[in-house]
Each structure stands twice: as structure tokens, then as C-alpha cells.
Amino acid sequence: MIFILSVIFPALLAQPPLKCHDVFTYKQRVLGQLSRRVTQSSYEIIDNDFGFNVSAFLSPSGELRLTLYLSDPKEHIRSHLNGHKLFDQIIDHFGLLNIKSILGVWNQNSVNFRQYQLALLSGFDPNSAALKTWTAVQAKRYGFTKVNYLQVYQVNITGEWVSLVEFVRE
């Protein structure tokens, strides 16, 4: 896992603080238009009219890295882009059998991080708390029901708290 942190850490420092579901290394903003880029190893849709974008990348080892960003969750409900439907499209795009794990990296402003913290405060152990998040709920629908790796750390330069969690099949 040291390799993953060495790849993620510099990218996290380069990112502005986001209000988002999951944070990873890729972020793009296209003003006022729907932008779609799909390749064998990536899937990106950006709709700034609704302040929404999704970016997913599948590594050669089968690790799915996912970013869902929305500027206003209420607007997201009215949008034709819907988080769980996009999650389904991403799984379909890469093929469930090609995905070995789902990696979530959540900053302290994300919905997942807040859900994780609330579950901890409610008495859940760290792994169980991670399974109470939006990403975990989506991942569980596809059989990724186990937390394989979990780390919460503070980025020294920014002071921001970040959670890194990997979901796998049992």
C-alpha cells in the first residue's frame, strides 16, 4: 500500500478542497457543457450545468478508482446524471469481472467521510463504519462487501483529513 499512497499523496495536495463523494487524482472542469471521455481504462462525464462530474479509472491490476463530484446535492437530484446510475454505468463499462477492488479516497468535506465519522461516533468499529458510506453501499450491490485496507491520516501541508479505503469481494 505504500505505492498507492506515494501516487495519491502528491495528487491530493494539488487538488483544491472539494465538496464531493470521493476524491482521487483526476479533476476537470468544463464550463456549461456535457463532456464525455471514455477509453478502455477510463470513464469520465462532466456536466457543469448541474455541477456534477464522474471520473473512473481502472488500473491494470483491476483497482477501480472513482470520483463523484457534485456542487449541490439538491441539484443532483434534478439532474439526469444520478450517482448510483453512473456507478452502474461504470461497472458495466469496465466489466464486473475485470474489477478486483474499489478504492475510495475521501477528504474531510466529502459525504463519505462525514458518513464514516458519524458511524464511528455511533459506536461502529472503523471497518464497519466504512461499510456505512455511500461508496460502500454502491460497492456492496456488486459483491464488494469487505474492507481490505483502511487508513485515516492528516495531510501535513494542508491539515486536511483524508480516508483511504479499499473494498474487495469476500
pLDDT tens-digit map of 139-164 = 999 999 999 989 888 887 888 888 88
* Interval 53-76 mean pLDDT: 78
DSSP label of 33: S
- Give the number of other Cβ atoms within 10 Å of residue 61's Cβ: 7
- CA proximity to 50, closest of 68, 70, 24, 35: 70
Query: At 61, which amino acid appears?
Result: S
Q: Which has the minimum average pLDDT: 34-38, 67-71, 72-76, 159-163?
A: 72-76
* Burial environment of residue 100 by CB neighbours within 10 A (0 to 12, 13 to 18, 19 or more): middle
The 3 state secondary structure assigned to 68-83 is EEECCHHHHHHCCCCH
CA distances from 126 to 23, 73, 117, 130 (A): 19, 26, 9, 6
pLDDT tens-digit map of 43-55 = 988 776 666 677 8
